[in-house]
Structure 1
Amino acid sequence: MVHSPVHRPRTLVRAIGIVAACVMTASLAACGSSIGPAAEGGDSGALKVGVVVPATGVTSSAGLALQAGVEIAIETINDEGGVNGQPIEYEVEDDRGDPATTTQIANRLASDPDISLMVGTITGDTAQAAASVADAEGLPFATAILGDPSVCSDYAWSFGESIRQMLEPLVPELLEKYGTRVALVGSDYVFPRDYSAAAREIVADAGGEIVAEEYSPMGTTDFESTIGRLAAGEPDVILSMVVGADAIAFTQQAAAFGLLTPEIGFEGAPTDADYYPALTTLVEGREKAVRWTDAFDDPESQAFVEAYRERTGSDAPIPEVAANAYFAMRFIAAAANDAGVTDREGINEAIGSFSYDSPLGDGTHFDGDRNILQANIFTAMIQPGGVYEIVEDHGIIPDTGAPC
């Protein structure tokens, strides 16, 4: 059955967590762990959420965007009456992008019987650390990052686009438009290599060939040798999963050394909304597979855009992870309201059996052993000023991931 969000009479709303005390600004000022007073008072029957983000460190920009998405969603849900008539309570923990720290935080949250849901984090290795703890302790864990789930777990729910959902709409078009010779480049950790593995299959199915493949450690600032090896393959298309600040350095240097030109197809992390302010003309005119952009004109999307800009002070394109986090909380709250639950097992079962109408599509739901969200995928054209204009609606790109 398809359910719309549940609207209940407004009750006394107490948004617990970082609201006024740690407002994200355009400078993305970091904040630490925090817990609101109502969350300290024992089991009230309210839905209580542990939010894990890298509020400091090299991925703090994305972490604070995720945090803003979660907080805006919780405030909106609480304004509508909360979950089962009670406001959602939450606390935020800074894992600094460090898997060991993530594990410590996840263990603490899992040992707290009042916590019924964990949301976060950003990098694949920290998400894997959190998911492993969540699976062992029976704590539902929702991610908002792009890419495939890092572990097979009945308790891990992936609200971000999977690798195939990102690649399948665009790779055949790129090969047809630019040529069949494809170069793969990425940061040297699990997610970019998983991205490349899927890309190799999709490129081959589309009649293309991989002519170069390169990886660089996180924190690389000089990509001249990498670019030289990529150029030697004479690619027509570059699929890049170089991430973080490295993505900006790689893209700028690829253009400066003549590898990245308007005649070369280009897709991957550097075309994400996060990077537009630094790359502007280098990505304008490129196409991007997305689940949502701030160009969506439906009332809920525009209300989120307004709230996000007010909270952050930023007029840059809104990062995908912020919207994924926002709609993840909306989905989970609607599922919990529909089932009348706030306990761990109840929340977990509700997420897995729920079908939800939202700007991400009608009847969005989870499928497969890896719990991948089945929602609409769009092609967006990156316009001057950072407008990710929707040019094609692909509907649901079915992907349930490799069986566990």
Structure 2
Amino acid sequence: MFSRRIVTKLLLSLFTFSLIVACAQTNTPDQAASTGSSGGSGATGNAIPIGVAVAQTSNVALLGQEQVLGAKIAETYFNDQGGVNGTPIRLVLQDTAGDEQGTINAFNALITQDKVVGIVGPTLSQQAFAADPVADRAKVPVLAPSNTAKGIPQIGEYIARVSAPVAVVAPNALKTALTINPNIKNVAVLFAQNDAFSKSETETFQNAVKEANLNLTTVQKFQTTDTDFQTQATNAINTNPELVIISGLAADGGNLVKQLRDLGYQGSIIGGNGLNTSNIFPVCKKDCDGILIAQAYSPELDNPINKAFREAYKSQNQKEPPQFSAQAFTGVQVFVEALKSLDNKTKLNTLSLEQLRSELNKEILAGNYETPIGSIAFDPEGEIQQSQFYVAQIKMDADGNNGRFEFLK
């Protein structure tokens, strides 16, 4: 039988050995390099975390779900290409839902808990005006994938966007409508008054109508949460418009289109960027046919990165990729390419998380990028510099259940 002294020595030896092994496993060279000395580069598990804060639930989900698809395709694509000079990226998704507080909560979680290097999001401009200041104060770069309202990049030095402002894109749809029907004289406008983007977009549309010397017959307001538009639709129809312009989201906008047609309106319809999704098809079905929507993306753009994105999207979803997915892909791409460029200058694992976020923001604004939405860059305020725009018309199948965006020349 062992003496108590011998047993004690054996137990101490086993404990010491276990402690050494545990320390060795905890502080491997790879992990030390990925975490850095002061919070590190934000990388965990030898992957660089990039936040994606978009609306996966609520009445905005029809748009946000398309953004998730685009971002995930980018994650797979760029990791297959070697990530950031050999280090993979890892998307961290947070659901903003459809309101401002949900977006603020999502941003805070990504910044303080997930320790992302930057954020792609949010879905709505209304959400951006509430949550972007949180990121800007924390000095975390944000790339807006679909915030096109006036004033987004001016929120702060860490805020940029890969979504062209509505003032640049929207008037193209009106020009196309007048080309298709030169006899348009009267125009009725309807917009969601509780959504910052829709309010900004309708101002652009109304100014374009006046500049074209058309008669703005009425301006009708609604809420993005509305389902009954009988009053607004009737008031618009009573002014005998040849063109109706709608600024809203997919669900409310699609229902408004349907109720306009149900009440007998047969003229042209322009949809704003919120209707720029194939998820509108199940909402207005056959009545979606003919809607004109200005686009900042075309699946037919002939460059290598768009071809790769388009093929990946079609193989997963059996349809052409929409603008919201392309812009989310572009947001992730800009982060990856800026991280590569920064790593070539200063190894990321030598920077604290705070340093990395700050230097990454500078690198983003200094870069030029060949993306699915074309060649882009940023001005010093973070406004996208993009030259290629399009107009598409919805063409529904005979059964009214499926359709496509047909790009007009």
- TM-score with structure 1 setting the length: 0.78
The runs of 5 or more residues in structure 1 that have no matched partner are 1-37, 393-404
CA contact (8 A) 1:276 1:317 kept: no
The structure-2 alpha-carbon separation of the partners of 1:379 and 1:266, relative to structure 1 and needing over 3 Å to count, comes to closer
Deviation track 1:53-103 (CA, whole Å, cap 9, x = no partner) reads 222222223222211211110111111111132111231112222311221
The aligned residue for residue 30 of structure 2 is none
Task: Give me the whole-angstrom Cα distance separating, in 1, the residues matched to 2:207 and 2:333.
Answer: 34
1:378 aligns with 2:390: yes
Aligned positions of 1:14-33 closer than 5 A: none
1:267 maps to what in 2? Answer: 271
Q: How does 1:378-397 map to 2 (within 5 A)?
A: 378-385=390-397, 386-392=403-409
Q: What is the CA-CA distance between 1:298 and the residue it aligns to?
A: 5.0
Where in structure 2 are there 5+ consecutive unaligned residues? 1-32, 349-355, 398-402
Whole-angstrom distance in 2 between the partners of 1:121 and 1:229: 34
**Which residue in the other structure is 2:20 paired with?**
none
CA offsets 1:266-285 (integer angstroms, 9 cap, x no match)? 33243543313443543334
Mean alpha-carbon deviation: is it higher for 177-186 or for 321-330?
Answer: 177-186
Aligned residue for 1:356? 369
Structure number having the greater helix percentage: 2
| Inter-partner Cα distance in structure 2 for 1:329 and 1:292 | 16
Distance 1:71 1:264, change over 3 A: closer
In structure 2, the partner of 1:168 is 171
How far residue 108 of structure 1 moved from its aligned partner, in angstroms, is 3.1
Once the two structures are superposed, the pairs formed by residues 113-152 of structure 1 within 5 Å of their partners are: 114-148=115-149, 149-150=151-152, 152=155
Most deviating of 348-357 and 284-293:
284-293
- Residues 284 and 228 (structure 1 numbering): CA distance in 2 closer, same or farther, change over 3 Å? closer
Aligned pair 1:87/2:88, yes or no? Answer: yes
Cα distance, 1:368–1:163 mapped onto 2, change above 3 Å: farther
Q: Which residue number corresponds to residue 247 of structure 1?
A: 253
Cα drift, residue 39 of structure 1: 9.4
* SS of alignment partner, residue 50 of structure 2: strand
**In the aligned structure 2, how far is the partner of 1:74 from the partner of 1:333?**
9
Secondary structure at the aligned position of 1:376 is classed as coil
Does the alignment pair 1:347 with 2:360?
yes
Distance in 2, matches of 1:272 and 1:60, equals 11
- CA 293–274 in structure 1, closer or farther in 2 if over 3 Å, else same: farther
Structure-2 change in CA distance of 1:315 and 1:253 (3 Å): farther
**Are residues 360 and 245 of structure 1, via their aligned partners in 2, closer, same or farther at CA, if it must alter by over 3 Å?**
closer
Q: Is the 8 A contact 1:273 1:317 kept in 2?
A: no
Deviating more after overlay: 264-273 vs 344-353: 264-273
Is the CA contact (8 Å cut-off) linking 2:392 and 2:405 kept in structure 1? yes
Q: Name the CA distance, whole Å, in 1 between partners of 2:232 and 2:114.
A: 49
Q: Distance in 1 between matches of 2:252 and 2:84?
A: 41
Matches within 5 A, 1:39-118: 43=40, 47-111=48-112, 114-118=115-119
Equivalent residue for 1:289? 294
Report the alpha carbon displacement of residue 173 of structure 1 after superposing the two structures with TM.
3.5
Instruction: Note closer, same or farther for the CA distance 1:299–1:384 as it changes in structure 2 (3 Å cut).
Output: farther
In structure 1, C-alpha distance between the alignment counterparts of 2:254 and 2:381, rounded to whole Å = 35
1:234 to 218, 233, 240: 240
Would the alpha carbon gap of residues 286 and 220 (structure 1) be closer, same or farther in structure 2, given more than 3 Å must change? closer
CA gap of 1:265–1:219, structure 2 versus 1, over 3 A, is closer
**Contact between 1:62 and 1:319, CA under 8 Å: does it hold in 2?**
no
> In structure 2, what is the Cα distance between the partners aligned to 1:140 and 1:84?
20
Which whole-Å deviations, capped at 9, do the CAs of 1:154-204 have from their partners, x for residues lacking one?
211221232122222222342452413221111222221111112222222
- CA distance, structure 2, for counterparts of residue 353 and residue 367 of structure 1: 9
1:339·1:350 contact (CA, 8 Å) conserved in 2? Answer: yes
- Do the aligned partners of residues 91 and 272 (structure 1) sit closer, same or farther apart at CA in structure 2, a change above 3 Å counting? closer
How far apart, in 2, do the equivalents of 1:234 and 1:368 lie?
A: 46
- 2:313 aligned residue: 308
- Alpha-carbon shift at residue 305 of structure 1 (Å): 3.3
**Range 378-387 or range 46-55, more displaced:** 378-387
Query: Does the aligned pair in 2 maintain the 1:381–1:389 contact within 8 Å?
Result: yes
Larger-Rg structure: 2
Of all paired residues, the percent bearing the same amino acid is: 23
Task: Give the drift of 1:337.
Answer: 1.5
The residue type paired with residue 366 of structure 2 is: S
Query: Superposed, which structure 2 residues align to 1:182-193 within 5 Å?
Result: 182-189=187-194, 190-193=196-199
CA separation of 1:98 and 1:274: change in aligned 2, threshold 3 A: same
Partners of 1:96 and 1:380 in 2: CA distance: 28
Corresponding residue number in structure 2 for 1:30: none
Q: CA RMSD in A?
A: 2.8
User: How far did 1:40 drift?
Assistant: 9.2
CA distance in 1, matches of 2:193, 2:408: 33
**Counterpart Cα distance in 2 of 1:253 and 1:187:** 16
How many corresponding residue pairs?
Answer: 350
Query: Which residue in 2 is equivalent to 1:200?
Result: 206
1:388 corresponds to which letter in structure 2? Answer: F
